[in-house]
Structure formats: structure tokens, C-alpha cells
Structure 1
Amino acid sequence: MDATTAPHRIPPQMPQYGEANHVFELMQNMLEQLLIHQPKDPIPFMIDHLQRDNDYVPKIAILGPPASGKTTIAMWLAKHLSTNLLSVESLIAKEYSPLAADARMHYQRFKMVPNMLLIRLMQERLKEEDCIRRGWILDGIPETREQALTIQTLGISPRHVIVLSAPDAVLIERNLGKRTDPQTGEIYHTTFDWPPESEIQNRLMVPAGISEGETVRKLLEYHRNIVRILPSYPKILKAISADQPCVDVFYQALTYVQTSHRSNAPFTPRVLLCGPVGSGKSLQAALLAQKYGLINVCCGQLLKEAVADKSKYGDLIQPFFEKEIAVPDHIIMKVLKQRLDQQDCVERGWVLHGFPRDLDQAHMMDHLGYKPNRYHLMYKPPPTMEVQARLLQNPKDSEEQIKLKMDLFYRNSAELEQFYGEAITLNGDQDPYTVFEYIESGIINLLPKKIP
């Protein structure tokens, strides 16, 4: 870009294209992989990386004490996300692998696998095509801080780490009732999760090492190690209480692994606030503009400004204002386009309210390329009797007018909500700053990925 032609005007389509196609994240992920693997010839490596298209496959680690249910949660997540489950048991059970054979011998003699042998087994497994294309879940790995650091050094980095916790007394009692199905590997419990099928009941076995003394020993070892493992994953860790029904634990875990961590990619907020009259759209737009420097674009105010400035569009709008009838959509879009194309909106982003009001208007915006990347669907009484006594009502806010506006909004809201599929819906009948915090979190955090 020629520096002598500054200041440069950024076409609105450029940042929108980059965000829509995740160009910034793509470049960041490619750079990460280049630095981790350091290939001799980076060009074929990058081509191969792009062809795999596996930047967003699950990479999850589930940790927890004995009897916390981590294996059950890991199995359910693996089934739901169609990904691979890796545990010490599954790694050493691998056939036709000299490493797995060595690990089995160690495990049979010492009931453990040496750190380096386990990590080499993991490396071998993670290089296989199904793990590359569909991702993986680590069940109870890493077990020690040394394993965690070695795994990180080798470039094996989970995106989400879940740590289950429960009181030791609960875990000891739960472990005594544990039963396993040797055919499927599923874990059941004599009190909390007994299978209804008699066929499964008959083949359940009591696993080794579930006595109270053995469980206490394992818990002590776990507590000694986990406090040293957790600092290795400071920003991607989620603690979930395991002292609740398994289904509740699973849905909390699923919700977490579907969230995306905050990206370093450039991001220009384009926020659309929709809601019925009196829901607080104007206040929230002003708060967002004040805190984040966004351009506050009120559609009604734009039309009034066009008339006041006696612009060419203002002359077209004036007759409609005088007759108190709706301004045609195509004129509104021209005024809106003129404002959103200005460089401050392109560079700093915008928060729009008052438009679109129906599906046709939303289609017009979309057709012209104005696609919000955050969409929020959203009563405030006077604070004291003294204030209430001096309040005056705007003629436009009569009961009949309000009912008409409310009916119009709710008649179109379902279609708008469907059109903007990633809408964030929230209750506007709260303290304005509580509402603002919800909207703010929806803007600064990436939207959760919807996994079928």
C-alpha cells in the first residue's frame, strides 16, 4: 500500500470478508502449527494443513479424582461430538504396536506406565488420521505436572480442560458401588446408575482397586498432583462439581466445550439491537458507544438529521414527515448506507437500533452487505414520587400508539429472530447496567459453536 496516498480508506467489504471466512484465525492457526512442527519445507505443510480443515475439531482434556465420573463424561462427550476417546487403558490396549506391548507389560507389573512411554503412545495415536480429522478427548491425562509440561513441549495442547471435583467422602462412597461392563466399557453404579436390562446386569463386574483403603490412597495421590497440573492450563480450565446428577455434569461440560476462547484476531463490532418500544435500546446503544467507541446509529435520528440538513434525501423524507406516514424502505436504506459507509463506521464499528423492523428490511440490509456480527433481542419506572409527579407524556407515547408499536414488533420479531440465527436474546426488564453486562459479554466473547 502506497504510504504517500494516506489516509487510506478501507472498503467495508474487506473486514466483513475476513471475519466471515475466519481469515485472521486461519493465519494465526497456520503460524502456530508452523512454529510447533517447524517443517523443512513450510509451503507443502501449509497446503496440507489447509486441506485437512481441522482447526476447530475438539481437543479436550478431562481430569478428576477417582469416582468423579470423568470416564463417563468423556465417553458421552466423545459420542456426542463424534470424536476419539484416549485413556491410558485404550492406549495400552492398541494392537500391532510395539510401544503398546511394552506399556502393557509395565502396567501389568507396576499398575502404571512410565511418563515417556505414555507420551510416545499418545504421539503415535494422535498422528493417526481419525484423531487428526475428528479430534480427541483425553480421559485422565495428564496425570502429573511432568506429563503436562512434556505434552505441551511436544505441541499437544487441548483447547478445553475440564476438572471435576467432589468431597472425598462422596467419592469414597461412590467408588464402592462402581461396576463395569467388560463388553462395552460403560461404568455403572449399584445405587445411582443401575442398568434396567437384565442382560447387562448379569455381565457387570466389580473393578479392581475400589476398596476404601485403595480409594483413599488414589485420592491422596490425585490431590498431590492436581494442584501442580492446573497452573499449566490457566485460561482454558473449567471446574465442574461432580456431586450432582451425571446428566447435569455432562450438559455443563458440553456447554463449555462448545464455547470459543477469545481470539487475537482483529474484530470490528457491528451490533444490531432489536426490541419493543421502551425496552432500552437507545440507552444500551449509548453505553456501548461510550465504552467501546462504536458509532451510535439511530435510524429515526438519521432521518431527522437528513431533513434538518436539507440534504437531497432530506427533501425526499420531508413530505412523509409532514403527513406523519412511514418513510419508504428504499429511502431509509439510502440514508443508512450513506452513514454506515463512512470511514468512522468502517474502522470503529457501529451499534444500530430502530432498523430493521421486519424481515423485508433485514433482507435489504443483508443484500447491501451490512451484516451485523452481533444481534441482540432485548420498563423503567420513575425512581421517586416527586419525579413521577412532574413527568409529562409525549403525545407519541399514548397508550394506543404504544400498543400499535408493540403489536408491530411482536408480529415481526419471530421472523427477524429466525433470520439472524445467532441472535442473543435477553430480558430487558432488569437494571440497565445488568442488561449492558449481558450485551457486553456477547460482544467481546466469540459466539459458541453449534455442534449437531
Structure 2
Amino acid sequence: KPLRLKPSLTSMNPERSWFWFCLLSGLVMEQPDDPISYLITFLQRLSLDSPRVLLLGPPAVGKHTLAKTLSNELRAVHLTSESLLKGLSEENMESHDLHVSVQEDSAEVLVQQLQQRLKEMDCFHKGWVLVGIPQTRVQVLQLQRAGIIPEHVVMLDAPEEVLLQRNHGKLTDPITGDVYHQLFVQPENDTIRWRLEKGRSLSDQQLLAEVQRYRCEVTALKAAYQHVLKVFNADQPPADVYQQALTFVQTRRHFRTPRIVLVGPSGSGKSHLARLLSEKYKVVDVSCGSLLRSVVSDGSALGAQIQPYMDVGRPVPDSLLMPVLEARLSQVDCSCRGWILHGFPCDMQQAKSLHESQYQPNRVFFLEASNDVCMQRLSLRGTDPVSGERYHAVTQPAPSSEVQDRLQTAPYDGSGAVTQRLRQFRFNCEGLQTIYPDAIHLDADQDPHSVVIALSDIRL
């Protein structure tokens, strides 16, 4: 018989879950000879968020420059295929100085050296930023077999004409080995600028051949790292590429089911957006209002206590609301697939209650919408008195003209009631933001599908 855990057991505190995930994944990937000593060393790490970043891209796209700036900002160890190949023959070193692809016969040796290098204490404690390998699907498999799994993969891309232009203007600092460019990347220090030398670069034919070789492998590279990879357009100022890549590598990977909360004023599109996200990501759509109406209709004792508040349009007390909400979020579908909650919390106290429960959200989005837009949207909403279904002229029109003709505007959608709800939300918004300071704010004045596209750039 399949083992099914109690749903509440899956709602572990996110920070605690992340700790155990890091601990277990470290044991599985490293497979240390002495697990106890490894665990002791692991617990002495300065941070669980030590970066493991991999940079991919064609030659002359700017991988090495970006890797250096990222490693400096993240205080991580900067690793390159060149630095790892110091023990190989001078012939191999020359080929790597010219950025010729790592040959398959030396790739295995390179992976072995990388595996040993990552076990050193600086990489273990600080993390690492790796550039130069893998370049092929075979090398990806070698890294995976060695247990070298990046947390983030940054892939740079640019048109061939841009790569040719950058290849021609390469400059090198003879002391530090840092790479600059006559037009795109120049040192701020005049002393460094005066000592720069023209760097060794590939001919146009060699570069195009290497780019073509990379293009043949890029599909396999993307497939191998699809869950942790993001492609960046390198045909823009290096500072912009750096900021975009830094934002990406500083995001923590979500390994658990999503627990999403949508916060916003009436008319901001919470319900419609929740439905779209539920369909796209297969999470459970939990509407607080619909949940309360369902409890009232089932004839339970708790529903009988809630009904008087619903009949007169008064807020349901948290003492009655929280048990209903916790009962729904503890069900198996929410535990296995995750959930997206809207209509709750509405104020600071409700946010605190949710935060103190075992159902803390791990993603919170504030939908920013103006009062005028909210009023306009709600004026297009109507309720079918026969079925009780709610429709919207734009986002969810009535299925037939017969239903459309009998739609009525609910009392709570009248201008006076809406104005009061908007005023109340603005009053409570500051308190909600205090509880969720790291929440993501989205422009909800745009159409819902544009909001979904914006959310697609955020890893749910």
C-alpha cells in the first residue's frame, strides 16, 4: 500500500525545509567516504546559499568578463577551464589560451581536476562561478556523473556580427590577465589602461567555426539545464547584462510546491489571475470568498455561525475564518500540487495569523491597480441570479444571450460599496507590506494576460 504522509507534515517551515534539502542533496551528490565528518564540515559552512553558477555561451560573447564581476560581487571562487588545465601540456594550454574548445580526450581529466578543486575549502564555503566547461553534451554528462550540479546556469547569446566585432578589439592586462575591449569594456583606472596589450584572438574563420560548433551543441546544453537556466541577450551594455544576471543568480530555487498569495484591491484581477495561474501551473485555486460560501451551503455547524455575517455583508471573524482556511489548505490536493490563495489576508492581523500557522506562503504578489481601473472593471461584472455564477463582459463573458440578459449587479459591486472597499484596502495595505516586505509588486492596470507573462519571468 502506498505510504501517504499526513498533509500537515508537508507544510514544514520553508527555512527548515531548505536546510534539510541542502544537507541531503550534499550527501547524495558528494557521496563522501566519511559522511559524519562531511556533515560536521557542512554545518560549519558560513552560508547555505553559497552560489554554484555556470556560465555558457559562444566565444567572444563576454563570459569571462561577466564571470569575474559576478564572482567578485558574490564573493565566490572564479573558476575557468584555463586555470584548471595548468597541469596539462603546454600544447593544450596554448589551445585554451586561444579559446579553442576543450577536446573530448582532455575533458575527462578536466572534470577530475574540477571535482578535486570544488572539494577545497574556499569553494566549499564561498561557492563558485565556473566558465569554459561544459561545451558539449558529453561534457555535461561527465559533470553530472561527477556530482557537479549548478544552482544557476547563465547562458549568453549574441549575433555573429557582434561576436566578430568584440573578437577584434580584445585587450589584456599582462599583470592580472583580465580581459578588456577597446570599445565595450574599458578599465576605470588609467594605470591599467596604459599597460593594456592587444590580446590573442581567433581569426574570423576560426571564430565562426567555433561559433558553429557551439550552435550544434547549444540545444543539448539547454535541455540538460532547462530547470536552472536562463538565456540573456549579450548584445547590450555589459552593465545591463551584469545586473540581469546578478538578479537571476541571487534568486533562491524553489524546490517545494508553491504556496502563493495574491494581495490587491477589489477589481485588481485577483480571481481571474488566480484562475489563469491555476490552469497554467496546475496549483489549487483557493478563493476565500468561495470557500466561505461553500461552508455556509453545506449546512454544517460552522457554516451556521458564518452565515449571519455573510447575509449582511460583514467581515467574518478570524476565529471562524481561520479554521475553514486551514482545513482547506491541509487537504491532499493543496499539499501535493500547491495552492494560490486570494481574498485573504486583508489586513495585518490576518497576515500575522497566516504567518504563524503552518501554511506560510512562499510567494506573495501585490497587484497594484488604480481606483479608476478597479471601478471600471467592477462595473462590467454581473451575477446570474439563477446559477449564482459571476461573469465579466471582458474576461469571462456570459455563455449565452439568455444568461447575459438576466445578469444583475450585486449590491457589493455598487459604486458606494466598491469605494468603501478600496478605501479600506488602501488603509490596510501598509500593514500588509510590513508583514511581507519581500513581496513582488506587479502592475495590475494592464490586462491579465500581460500580468501572467510578467509572472512567467518569475520562477513559481
Q: TM-score range by the shorter chain?
A: 0.7 to 0.9
Relative to structure 2, which stretch is displaced further, 323-332 or 237-246? Answer: 323-332
TM alignment of 1:358-377, pairs within 5 A: 358-377=347-366
Is the 1:282–1:353 Cα contact (8 Å) retained in structure 2? yes
1:25 counterpart residue number: 21
**1:128 is aligned with what amino acid?**
E
TM alignment of 1:52-201, pairs within 5 A: 52=45, 56-91=49-84, 100=86, 103=89, 107=93, 115=106, 118-142=110-134, 147-195=139-187, 197-201=189-193
Offset, 1:360: 1.6
CA separation of 1:204 and 1:417: change in aligned 2, threshold 3 A: same
TM alignment of 1:281-292, pairs within 5 A: 281-286=270-275
Offset, 1:169: 3.2
1:97 counterpart residue number: none
1:16 counterpart residue number: 11
Is the 2:260–2:362 Cα contact (8 Å) retained in structure 1? yes
Offset, 1:391: 5.7
In structure 1, the gaps of 5 or more residues are 93-99, 447-452
Offset, 1:130: 0.6
User: Residue by residue, what CA displacement relative to the aligned partner does 1:304-345 show, whole Å, maximum 9, x if unpaired?
Assistant: 556666655556556656766544443433544455456665
Is the 2:29–2:148 Cα contact (8 Å) retained in structure 1? no
Relative to structure 2, which stretch is displaced further, 286-295 or 333-342? Answer: 286-295
Offset, 1:75: 0.9
2:203 counterpart residue number: 214
**1:133 is aligned with what amino acid?**
H
Offset, 1:126: 2.3
1:162 is paired with a residue of what secondary structure?
strand
What percentage of aligned pairs have identical amino acids?
38
1:401 counterpart residue number: 417
2:372 counterpart residue number: none
Q: CA RMSD in A?
A: 4.1
Offset, 1:193: 3.5
CA distance in 2, matches of 1:428, 1:75: 38
CA distance in 1, matches of 2:426, 2:439: 16
CA separation of 1:180 and 1:415: change in aligned 2, threshold 3 A: farther
**2:417 is aligned with what amino acid?**
Q
**1:270 is aligned with what amino acid?**
R
Offset, 1:146: 5.8
User: Residue by residue, what CA displacement relative to the aligned partner does 1:197-225 show, whole Å, maximum 9, x if unpaired?
Assistant: 43332222222x24xx7343244235325
1:234 is paired with a residue of what secondary structure?
helix
For normalisation by structure 2, the TM-score amounts to 0.74
CA distance in 1, matches of 2:66, 2:133: 14
**Match among 352, 355, 363 for residue 344 of structure 2:** 355
Is the 2:13–2:358 Cα contact (8 Å) retained in structure 1? no
2:78 is paired with a residue of what secondary structure?
strand
**1:376 is aligned with what amino acid?**
F
CA distance in 2, matches of 1:204, 1:410: 57
CA distance in 1, matches of 2:438, 2:275: 23
Matched, 1:280 2:276: no
CA distance in 2, matches of 1:284, 1:41: 50
The count of aligned residue pairs is: 422
CA separation of 1:82 and 1:103: change in aligned 2, threshold 3 A: farther
In structure 2, the gaps of 5 or more residues are 368-375, 381-392
CA separation of 1:132 and 1:339: change in aligned 2, threshold 3 A: closer
1:401 is paired with a residue of what secondary structure?
helix
Offset, 1:235: 3.8
**1:274 is aligned with what amino acid?**
V
